[in-house]
Amino acid sequence: MSAATESPRPAGELIAAVEADLDRARGAIAGTAVRTPAVPSAELGAMLGSPVVLKAECLQRSGSFKLRGALSKLASLGAGAAGGVVTASAGNHGRAVADAARTKGVPCIVYMPRDATVSKVAAIEALGADVHLEGESVDEALSLAAAAARENGAALVHPFDDLQVIAGQGTVGIELLEDVPDIARVIAPVGGGGLAGGLGVALRRSGRRVALIGVQAQACAPYAYALAGGSSAGGAALVPALAPGATIADGIAIKRPGRITLPLLEELLDEIATVAEDEIADAIVFLAERAKLVAEGAGAAALALLLATRLRPVDGTTAVVVSGGNVDSGLLAGLLRRHETEEGRRVRLFTRVPDRPGGLAELLELVARSRANVISVEHVREAVPLRVRETGVALTLETRGRDHTDQLLAGLRVAGYEVAVG
């Protein structure tokens, strides 16, 4: 039967296969993958009402948990990897496979969507992989990668729908169980489902009752859609492909669940939730400002659910998997500026000053006395109503917050300036 018509394997059989492979996978990643820390967060614990740790996979060698699965898969191939490996990815999986392939000394080809993040493409190329930017989505890139693997006799390394890859991701769960003795709940992002599937198997193998919550971006949530009725009996092939909406969590923007991961997640997840773009953005900023961790959208999705206050405290510790840190620097800078604006710490003002020597200096002297920081100054002499011998000035300022901004505005108006904000 073709892959499209093949009946899905029972969840119990899949769980048993991954469980039997966990220890081999752990040996495969030893010495290459980093044992990432579970960082306690008193602030998050206070918000939730019970202890919280952040499993910082954003500190992994390749910048995400994906290296674990890649190393596990390549080790399982043995001599079969000699002809090279081919994969498809939005970024993190491709970078991980390229890293693992370089470690093993084998050629690597990575197919990526045409709109893949420039920084992620550059990182993969820097590892020596041959990158092909083809297809409008990861799904299309994956079809091209599978065809290339058949044509070249190379081994295909699927981003998530592979038992050895899932076992590698399950090592995250093994470490959490060892490092967090009172672990009661794990929150993890769900893209293809390999991380959540591996985590779930590791947690179940321990015999301890640990709840597992999966999180997807609202803009692209095929698992939430597929599991909404509580059954995956039709198999992944019968779940309609969802066109991914624009999301900053591009690393988990998958059109359709996997044939292996769908039955796994139906059996192993206690809950699946979705988060909005603004919630993901807020989580990225929280991690950067409060936890000093750099996370991409997919990596921050799990925390976004906790910050949205839709979870109850538990009797034990909640572990939030920060799955990746390969964020585009321009996006991160924009989100931080957006947050400063929302918090009232960055403001843009427009006013008018006399168009004569010293006119602008007098305005800036008042700003300096208020202890605000000038980010930019722009003269505006066109397309605004001005009196004769008058010029407009647009100021972007950094303040200590809304109260400080209000004090600054009041001082400027007392001094005779007409000030507009925005």
Residue 226 belongs to a domain with what CATH number?
A: 3.40.50.1100
Q: How many domains does the chain have?
A: 3
Cα atoms found within 13 Å of the Cα of residue 382, Cβ hemisphere only: 0
Task: Indicate if 288 and 193 belong to the same structural domain.
Answer: yes
Query: pLDDT digit string (tens) for 352-384?
Result: 999 899 989 999 999 999 999 999 999 888 778
pLDDT band of 386, cuts 50, 70, 90: confident
Task: Indicate if 299 and 225 belong to the same structural domain.
Answer: yes
Supply 285's token pair: 């900023």
Task: Indicate if 96 and 157 belong to the same structural domain.
Answer: yes
**More reliable by pLDDT, 190 or 245:** 190
Cα atoms found within 13 Å of the Cα of residue 63, Cβ hemisphere only: 23
What's residue 1's pLDDT? 29
Clarify whether 66 is annotated catalytic: yes
Q: Which of 313, 336, 359 is the last residue of a domain?
A: 336
Task: Indicate if 83 and 19 belong to the same structural domain.
Answer: no
Given the residues 55, 66, 73, 120, select the one marked as catalytic: 66
> What CA–CA distances, in Å, run from 246 to 141, 323, 402?
18, 20, 32
Place of tokens 């020597």: 357
Those residues with Cβ within 8 angstroms of residue 224's Cβ, 6 or more apart along the chain or in another chain:
216, 272, 273, 274
User: Residue 1: how many CB atoms within 10 A of its CB?
Assistant: 6
Burial of 31 (0-12, 13-18, 19+ CB in 10 A): exposed
Given the residues 50, 76, 137, 323, select the one marked as catalytic: 323
Radius of gyration of the chain (CA): 25
Q: Are 327 and 117 in contact (CB under 8 A)?
A: no
Query: pLDDT digit string (tens) for 62-103?
Result: 999 999 999 999 999 999 888 999 999 989 999 999 999 999
Is residue 5 predicted with pLDDT exceeding 70?
Answer: no
In a domain, 137, yes or no: yes
Task: Indicate if 259 and 319 belong to the same structural domain.
Answer: yes
Which domain, by its residues, includes 233?
11-64+170-336
What's residue 380's pLDDT? 85
Mean pLDDT of the region 2-28: 83
> What CA–CA distances, in Å, run from 157 to 2, 18, 108, 138, 303?
19, 16, 10, 14, 28
Candidate from 122-126, 193-197, 208-212, 335-339 with smallest mean pLDDT = 335-339
In a domain, 57, yes or no: yes
CA separation for the pair 99, 96 (Å, rounded): 5
- Residue 380, classed as helix, strand or coil, is strand
Clarify whether 323 is annotated catalytic: yes
Is residue 178 predicted with pLDDT exceeding 90?
Answer: yes
Single pTM value for the model: 0.85
